[in-house]
Structure 1
Amino acid sequence: MQYFSTRGETAPVSFTKAVMMGLAEDGGLLLPRTIPRIGNETLSSWENLSYAELAFEVMSRFIDDIPENDLKALINRSYASFEAEDVAPLVHHGDLHILELFHGPTLAFKDIALQFLGNLFEYLLEKDDKVLNIIGATSGDTGSAAIYGVRGKERIRIFILHPHNRVSPVQEKQMTSILDDNVFNIAIEGSFDDGQAIVKKIFGDLDLKKEYSLGAINSINWARVLAQVVYYIYSYLHVRTHEKMPSMDFTVPTGNFGDIFAGYIAKRMLPEGAIRQLVLATNQNDILNRFVGAGDYSLSDVAMTTSPSMDIQAASNFERYLYYLMDSEAGKTKELMEQFSQEGKIDLSDYLDQIRRDFSSVAVSNEEVSETISDFYNKYDYVLDPHTAVGVKAAGDKYTVGVPMVCLSTAHPAKFPDAVHDAIGRDPEVPPSIDGILERESRCQVLAADAKVIVQYIKDNAKTAQKEQ
């Protein structure tokens, strides 16, 4: 399988080269040359597979440069650390299936992709006798999941930028209490979008990227998206097998467009109509909702909400969908992304018919999040985290009687105790992995949201990570 850039100016590369490249050299995002289709006969043969076995079947259709046994071993090791035996259990409450994606080491859905990517990086670096300095920006959960995926790995150093005082205290401690020598936490004096822009600027310096062996762990890395495709197909197989239903809907709380883009890929892989509706759920940072509703993809100020991982304006995976929306025209995609970079907006109202065939959307306020957490708890004795509550509220607005609806539950409620306590009058139960986390020793550097400052910090700390080649 060959991978190409959405901007059309990077030579096609293999899967493993795409993983190590992260962001394409022309500034675009990498996509597979084709999206494999999965027929009903194949789906029937997958019905009794474990999560790890299904992950191999799905991923191997996009990966042809890692030996089969090695890929299986990587996948098995990645999901062995999950507390739930089936990795991503589906629980049923009222009209909804809740897909619990928070049973990994950091209690967030990012673990499903980043445990795999961390092991994959280690495998490729060992094979090629190289080192890697990973740069990433996080709005909350990606950072800790990335750190847990690579902590202690000899050939890797990781530098994670998070917005200072704009993530939950538990999210911050999950990152900064990891004291391994290869982990560097940077709190920038700005927003997640500032951090994301800095990371993209760093990767745009090809000489710097090469000299310091820089790699990406954000969802700009295709391997992240690929790992997330699996749980959509896993959910579809569950509903198809146990409810004997031919189609279903998904609701996805998203700020960076990566999680729902994985659903878009799964929808294209599965038989026509298998995934009927992808509901994009946002908080009041509603750029994606405005895009679906009116074709208005334009920046506004980032608002701080009770669902901080979604406090994002510029969605880093949006360009991948834009490429398909532009009928796979790389030149047009590049032109529009450059316009967005310069003007902070793109008018896509001429494409609304196609956009609305691919997605529907709902924006949810802080008040509605709190009400949803409270109502769901009172009805079902089940505690939602605020991001999942965004999805549950949107799912209720878009639910169609007789069509199974799966809402992605992206984080454990214990990561957001203040929002939960305000909604239900008590703290959520605390898993052993984060019990007492706020009292743990931590290490973090607070820096200006300035690319030059961040680059210098990386240079100062990445040099010792270099090995003789």
Structure 2
Amino acid sequence: MKYISTRGQAPALEFEDVLLTGLASDGGLYVPETLPHYSLETIRSWRDLPYDQLAFKIIQPFIGGAIDDATLQTMLTETYAGFGHKAVAPLAQLDHNEYVLELFQGPTLAFKDFALQLLGRLLDHVLTKRNEKAVIIGATSGDTGSAAIEGCKHSDHLDIFIMHPNNRVSEVQRKQMTTIKGDNVFNLAVEGNFDDCQSMVKACFADQAFLKGERRLVAVNSINWARIMAQVVYYFYASLNLGGPDREMAFSVPTGNFGDIFAGYLAKKMGLPVKQLIVATNQNDILHRTISQNKYEKLPLAHTLSPSMDIVVSSNFERLLFDVYGREGSALANLMDKMNVETVELDLEKMASVRETFDSHAVNDSTTCDTIKEVYDDTGYLLDPHTAIGVKAARECRRDANVPMITLGTAHPVKFTEAIEKAGLETPALPHHLSDLFEREERYDVIANELHALQAYVVKHVFSE
């Protein structure tokens, strides 16, 4: 399988190079040149497969022979054997035809584990095969960091640098990152917000001269195609467990960088019957304003009780727009240039095509807490704030009550003490494997919100080995 850039000027690459490249040289994001498509009969035949075997069916075509089938299946089995629930992605029922897909059963209690525990194994395999060393520079609004570190800390071929906005992630999220030990692990608290961190990541990819040609720079943020690829699987898994593909499903997705919901869009394009995809956002609602009002306008970042969604620019939205604009890279490149500097309205016909599948809703902190309390009072089930936003959006935007509505449960509530307490409830205890988290020693450095400060830090630690 070949991969092409959304902006049309970078060379087409095969899977291994896309895995190691991240951002395309023209500033675009890599997407498959063609998608596999499955008949209802084929999808139906997967109904009884355990999660790791279903993952193999869906992921194998994207890898295109870069990894032999037996090795890939072993990687997938090992990845999901480390999750805390045998079903890997269990469904919890809130009401008739209303469910939460629990994606927080992995080692760092967030949906990012589905992709990043696999990504670490993929990177280690490819770098070992090539006898190369690489540097990971990533940005996190809360959960990506710990999942990436957990997935990559064992590799002798990687040094990993993760930036988070200083004092703007929850205490549990920060400690999950900063207490992981490893000579190749570096945590950086940036005096800025998540978008500042993400901008520095993109700048490093655009000009890698600071690495002196001696190291390859690798992305772990959702700009890396492998992240999206791994997330497609649980849409199929949830559907198959609720009667799919013989009935349509609807999904509500707490959305920051648009990667998770884009995976749902891909699942639909690959043949899974998906009636509706709901973009659920907090006060940082650029995607909601774009979908509901056709107005793409960057506003100042607000800090909320759902920090993993505190993002102004949703990078993966570009991947959807690439399809919407007929996969014409030059047209999309011009559009993205405009979107970076001015308020943009999309072509009305193209916007209508987006709305055929997507709805959206924005939820403020007060309503988030009300939803946590309401669901707990009704069911005894405790939502984290991001999942609560998904549930509220699902209830507001649902098109058909006869279609099962599945909200993606993106994180464990224990990670967000402030929101749970503001909802008037008690935060649950940490799971056993994290029970001593608050006693563990932290290790991180605070740096200025400046590209040269980041690059100097990376150079100092990579080349002092």
User: TM-score, normalized by length of structure 2?
Assistant: 0.97
Report Cα offsets for 1:22-51 as digits up to 9, x if no partner: 111111100001111110111121011010
Query: Does the residue aligned with 2:100 lie in a helix, a strand or coil?
Result: strand
Report Cα offsets for 1:162-193 as digits up to 9, x if no partner: 00000000000000111211100011000000
Aligned runs of 1:163-242 on 2, under 5 Å? 163-208=165-210, 210-240=213-243
Deviation at 1:464, TM superposition (A): 4.2
Higher mean alpha-carbon deviation, 104-113 vs 391-400, is at: 391-400
Deviation at 1:344, TM superposition (A): 4.6
Query: Does the residue aligned with 1:26 lie in a helix, a strand or coil?
Result: coil
Query: Does the residue aligned with 1:345 lie in a helix, a strand or coil?
Result: coil
Aligned runs of 1:32-47 on 2, under 5 Å? 32-47=32-47
Deviation at 1:16, TM superposition (A): 1.1
Deviation at 1:245, TM superposition (A): 5.0
Deviation at 1:261, TM superposition (A): 0.5
User: Which residue of structure 2 lines up, in the alignment, with residue 14 of structure 1?
Assistant: 14
User: Which residue of structure 2 lines up, in the alignment, with residue 331 of structure 1?
Assistant: 330
Aligned runs of 1:437-448 on 2, under 5 Å? 437-448=437-448
Mapped contact 1:144–1:171 kept (Cα < 8 A): yes
The CA distance in 1 between the partners of 2:330 and 2:208, in whole Å, is 21
Mapped contact 1:159–1:184 kept (Cα < 8 A): yes
Report Cα offsets for 1:229-270 as digits up to 9, x if no partner: 0000111111225xx851110000011100000011011111
Query: Does the residue aligned with 1:60 lie in a helix, a strand or coil?
Result: helix
User: Which residue of structure 2 lines up, in the alignment, with residue 83 of structure 1?
Assistant: 84
The CA distance in 2 between the partners of 1:207 and 1:302, in whole Å, is 31
The CA distance in 2 between the partners of 1:5 and 1:461, in whole Å, is 32
Paired letter, 1:267:
K
User: Which residue of structure 1 lines up, in the alignment, with residue 409 of structure 2?
Assistant: 409
The CA distance in 1 between the partners of 2:344 and 2:438, in whole Å, is 42
Deviation at 1:208, TM superposition (A): 4.1
The CA distance in 2 between the partners of 1:269 and 1:424, in whole Å, is 43
Query: Does the residue aligned with 1:424 lie in a helix, a strand or coil?
Result: coil
Report Cα offsets for 1:367-413 as digits up to 9, x if no partner: 11000000000000010000000001011112322110000000000
Higher mean alpha-carbon deviation, 424-433 vs 120-129, is at: 424-433
Report Cα offsets for 1:49-83 as digits up to 9, x if no partner: 01000000000121112111111111111111101
Paired letter, 1:418:
E
The CA distance in 2 between the partners of 1:277 and 1:358, in whole Å, is 5
Higher mean alpha-carbon deviation, 215-224 vs 412-421, is at: 412-421
**Using a 3 Å threshold, how does the CA distance of structure 1 residues 425 and 44 change in structure 2: closer, same or farther?**
closer
User: Which residue of structure 2 lines up, in the alignment, with residue 398 of structure 1?
Assistant: 397
Deviation at 1:206, TM superposition (A): 4.3
Mapped contact 2:5–2:31 kept (Cα < 8 A): yes
The CA distance in 2 between the partners of 1:403 and 1:332, in whole Å, is 36
Deviation at 1:345, TM superposition (A): 3.4
User: Which residue of structure 2 lines up, in the alignment, with residue 134 of structure 1?
Assistant: 136
Higher mean alpha-carbon deviation, 200-209 vs 220-229, is at: 200-209
The CA distance in 2 between the partners of 1:265 and 1:207, in whole Å, is 35
User: Which residue of structure 1 lines up, in the alignment, with residue 147 of structure 2?
Assistant: 145
Paired letter, 1:383:
L
Mapped contact 1:117–1:224 kept (Cα < 8 A): yes
Deviation at 1:355, TM superposition (A): 1.7
User: Which residue of structure 1 lines up, in the alignment, with residue 355 of structure 2?
Assistant: 356
Higher mean alpha-carbon deviation, 39-48 vs 201-210, is at: 201-210
The CA distance in 2 between the partners of 1:428 and 1:173, in whole Å, is 17
Higher mean alpha-carbon deviation, 140-149 vs 74-83, is at: 74-83
Paired letter, 2:163:
L
Count, aligned residues: 460
The CA distance in 1 between the partners of 2:26 and 2:352, in whole Å, is 30
Higher mean alpha-carbon deviation, 356-365 vs 221-230, is at: 356-365
The CA distance in 1 between the partners of 2:167 and 2:339, in whole Å, is 28
Mapped contact 2:210–2:455 kept (Cα < 8 A): no
Mapped contact 2:208–2:217 kept (Cα < 8 A): no
The CA distance in 2 between the partners of 1:386 and 1:288, in whole Å, is 18
The CA distance in 1 between the partners of 2:176 and 2:55, in whole Å, is 27
Which consecutive residues of structure 2, in runs of 5 or more, have no partner in the other structure?
none
Deviation at 1:419, TM superposition (A): 1.1
**Using a 3 Å threshold, how does the CA distance of structure 1 residues 214 and 406 change in structure 2: closer, same or farther?**
same
The CA distance in 1 between the partners of 2:356 and 2:208, in whole Å, is 38
The CA distance in 2 between the partners of 1:130 and 1:230, in whole Å, is 30
The CA distance in 2 between the partners of 1:196 and 1:425, in whole Å, is 34
Deviation at 1:347, TM superposition (A): 2.0
Paired letter, 1:348:
L
The CA distance in 2 between the partners of 1:345 and 1:462, in whole Å, is 40
Which consecutive residues of structure 1, in runs of 5 or more, have no partner in the other structure?
none
Mapped contact 2:275–2:357 kept (Cα < 8 A): no
Mapped contact 2:75–2:118 kept (Cα < 8 A): yes
Does residue 1:347 correspond to 2:350, yes or no?
A: no
Report Cα offsets for 1:333-364 as digits up to 9, x if no partner: 111112223x1533215232112113100000
Query: Does the residue aligned with 1:147 lie in a helix, a strand or coil?
Result: helix
User: Which residue of structure 2 lines up, in the alignment, with residue 453 of structure 1?
Assistant: 453
Paired letter, 1:89:
P
Mapped contact 2:47–2:240 kept (Cα < 8 A): yes
The CA distance in 1 between the partners of 2:284 and 2:141, in whole Å, is 13
User: Which residue of structure 1 lines up, in the alignment, with residue 252 of structure 2?
Assistant: 251
Deviation at 1:154, TM superposition (A): 1.2
